[in-house]
Structure 1
Amino acid sequence: MLYQAYQTYADMMQPACSLADIAATLLAGYPRGDHSEPLRTVRAACEVLALARLTHYRPPFAIHSVKIRGEHVPVVEEIVTRTPFCTLLRFRREGAPQQPRVLLVAPMSGHFATLLRGTVETMIRDHDVYITDWHNPRDVSLIHGRFGFDEFVQHLITFLHALGGNTHVVAVCQPTVAALAAVALMAEDGDPAQPPSLTLMAGPIDARVNPTKVNELAMSRPIEWFESTLIGYVPFRFAGAMRRVYPGFVQLIAFMSMNRERHEQALRDLYALRARGEHDQADAIQAFYTEYFATMDLTAEFYLETVSLVFQRFVLAQGLLDVGGRRVSTHAIRRTTLLTVEGERDDICAIGQTMAAQDLCASLRPYMRMHHIQTGVGHYGVFNGKRWESQVYPLLRETIHMSE
């Protein structure tokens, strides 16, 4: 009933939010509207109301060009291959010189891959970038079967094979565990497509280290509680009808509750800035929440297996992870340079959790293992924002180019 109750509420709110959105758009285009304080106030109220809804479709990446060597180069999205659960998407730069190929592994944690738009915009300056564009399970029919942790790992291996050898991997947040497992399996097989470098950013390789509120919640209940309380069925009106999912709106509520006052203040700031006519700052806040409120579900099996394997049993960190019936041995990794990155103020994945990969990959020579703690940033600041661009990205770029 969880999903059905939410959908009923969303359907009831839809007309009011849509009208508010239309009104805000009309007022934004009204020639004299910006010179009238009452009209600015009405526009501000309409925008805040329009944001009070969740969307369930991926926003566009809207990356149309990139500046390379002083010239603007057109960027075209190109589908390389796809499965029912994911599209391997390339940001092809027309006429750009050949540069290192990178598979950017986006998280499947309640948001779409467009959450990494800023990461992509930065990386395509110097790299041929591909991304895992995960599909919303509520739009995936039951005839396509299950999608759990093993299937996630296999998707990464399949995509690396599709791209051929010499493809670097950058995994952000939750998929760092699956990415490390995929590379370890490929290394054990002597797979020629194993990546020359692997960058793990703000991910729970060992969630026992410096537990956060996220980790404490996972440990506070048995896995049966998560299944009985948080799993719902996709309503009949959608393509994935009756698929068991962990709804994206539940994940969003959980994340927002961790920093409730900050989010409330941001929406108050949006209203005040818009009412005063300070549109640049207001536009930035609005753009963030438009993206943040675009949610996707997770299949029940993927969510429950991730909670169990990563946040309750810590099997990768203990050398006990099995994928497809095979034990994962991170010690098999010998040819892939490893970079781990953490944020000093990360309250989702604390310092030390990602760095744990350094000890797990003990077969790598010391000069092939690097770690960086970015001061002054939280979780999202590791892969988005000014410090990402000025401090984290140059290190990542150097690691990739050094490993070519």
Structure 2
Amino acid sequence: MSVWGAMQFAHPLRCIQAYHELIALAGFTHHRPDYGIQEIATDDGAIVPVTETPVFTTPFCTLLRFSRQGGGAEPRVLLVAPMSGHFATLLRGTIRTLLRDHEVYVTDWRNPRDVPLGQGTFGFEDFVQHVIDFLKFIGPHSHLVAVCQPTVPALAAVALMAADDDPDQPASLTLMAGPIDTRVSPTKVNEFATSKPIEWFRQNMISTVPRGLPGAGRRVYPGFLQLCAFMSMNMDRHSKAFADLFKHRVEGNVDKAAQIRSFYEEYFAIMDLDASFYLHTIETVFQKSALPEGKLLFKGRTVTPRAIRKTFLLTVEGERDDICAVGQTLAAQDLCSGLRPYMKSHHMQAGVGHYGVFNGKRWDHQIYPVLREHIRNSL
């Protein structure tokens, strides 16, 4: 008998419980999990309470403010979460780390299936406008951090504010693992987005929110399609994770099993995308490369990143990122040609994939110190 077989024989009840856990975990949910950030540990080891407060609400998003007790007049950071099939709670680890030294504002996007059709659609320009409105709400000398997909609308928002010499344009901008120029080292995600005409995506990737839900009748890109696409890119890794979860449960390794379960509970909480936003992003960002081509429009205006002259820029990439490859985010450095060299910096993190850029040990101990110093240098 193999060691694995012997273990199953020795722990039959644990095996049954582990099987049931895997079955239950495999289901999707469309409900946003809680952030669960009631307290954080400071660098000196102290445990301090954290307050979560909604401060600005639109039909499609709530701006949440996270502040820790005794924080005082810390730099204010607007963290723009991706709208790519998951809720903003996927960034809770990012938020926890940022809270050590900053007051953090987060774009808590609402699932479009829960937004009544009468509220209108939500497109790429609406995303850009939300970033601008939130920056103006937070006020001058703020700091903007965008993770993955929103790096493009975030850069566009800052460029537009710079062109207007807006007093609320941020002091610093950090773009992390985003598709600024997807022509650089195209990934499977990029290749798929350019493999079909936009009409194909409209006909095959869009569905209608069913009756009985608040957003009934709204056209959306279902979140489960995005999740399945991401999982198919790393099926071996996900299969191993489920096998490890089963093994840890049977062996009684509670902490290791809980860590895997916690990740997938979050990962399987899915959010749809408004069809307008999804299709415009596919066409503008991936198919036409409108931003690096100098052809991105916002309400008829051409977006010109070279207009940015007062906002310090940091770009961050992961060596093993298979969603936004090395070089795609770095492209922002050349686009922001109006910035003086000392106002631009880049960090390429060795040994991490896409998720590791903004979560995990290397984010905590190697990437975050670079971001923190970037913000301090811009003050």
Same fold flag (TM > 0.5): yes
Matched to 1:303, the amino acid is: Y
Per the TM alignment, residue 93 of structure 1 is displaced from its structure 2 partner at its CA by: 1.6
- In structure 2, what is the Cα distance between the partners aligned to 1:370 and 1:92? 28
- In structure 1, what is the Cα distance between the partners aligned to 2:45 and 2:179? 38
3-state SS of paired residue (2:13): helix
The residue aligned with 1:30 is none
The 5-angstrom pairing of residues 55-94 of structure 1 reads: 55-68=29-42, 69-94=44-69
- In structure 2, what is the Cα distance between the partners aligned to 1:51 and 1:226? 30
Per the TM alignment, residue 402 of structure 1 is displaced from its structure 2 partner at its CA by: 1.0
Structure-1-length-normalised TM-score: 0.90
Matched to 1:306, the amino acid is: T
The residue aligned with 1:322 is 297
Contact 1:136 1:298 in 2 (8 A): yes
The residue aligned with 1:266 is 241
Per the TM alignment, residue 136 of structure 1 is displaced from its structure 2 partner at its CA by: 0.1
- In structure 2, what is the Cα distance between the partners aligned to 1:295 and 1:403? 36
**Does residue 1:231 correspond to 2:206, yes or no?**
yes
Per the TM alignment, residue 67 of structure 1 is displaced from its structure 2 partner at its CA by: 2.6
2:12 alignment partner, one of 35, 38, 53: 38
Runs of 4+ aligned structure 1 residues displaced above 3 Å come to none
3-state SS of paired residue (1:352): coil
The residue aligned with 1:126 is 101
1:51 alignment partner, one of 4, 25, 32: 25
The residue aligned with 2:175 is 200
Matched to 1:54, the amino acid is: F
Per the TM alignment, residue 207 of structure 1 is displaced from its structure 2 partner at its CA by: 0.3
The 5-angstrom pairing of residues 125-144 of structure 1 reads: 125-144=100-119
Per the TM alignment, residue 146 of structure 1 is displaced from its structure 2 partner at its CA by: 1.2
- In structure 1, what is the Cα distance between the partners aligned to 2:304 and 2:232? 37
- In structure 2, what is the Cα distance between the partners aligned to 1:72 and 1:334? 39
Structure 1 runs not aligned, ≥5 long: 1-35
Matched to 1:165, the amino acid is: P
C-alpha root-mean-square deviation of aligned residues, in Å? 0.9
- In structure 2, what is the Cα distance between the partners aligned to 1:368 and 1:96? 27
3-state SS of paired residue (2:316): strand
1:279-318 C-alpha deviation (Å, 9 max, x unpaired) = 1111111000000000000000000000000000000011
What percentage of aligned pairs have identical amino acids? 63
Contact 1:73 1:96 in 2 (8 A): no
Contact 2:59 2:115 in 1 (8 A): yes
The residue aligned with 2:5 is none
Per the TM alignment, residue 42 of structure 1 is displaced from its structure 2 partner at its CA by: 1.5
Structure-2-length-normalised TM-score: 0.96
Matched to 2:190, the amino acid is: N
The 5-angstrom pairing of residues 270-285 of structure 1 reads: 270-285=245-260
**Does residue 1:293 correspond to 2:268, yes or no?**
yes
The residue aligned with 1:368 is 343
**Does residue 1:311 correspond to 2:286, yes or no?**
yes
Per the TM alignment, residue 70 of structure 1 is displaced from its structure 2 partner at its CA by: 4.0
Contact 2:71 2:103 in 1 (8 A): no
- In structure 1, what is the Cα distance between the partners aligned to 2:11 and 2:252? 8
Per the TM alignment, residue 151 of structure 1 is displaced from its structure 2 partner at its CA by: 0.2
The residue aligned with 2:7 is none
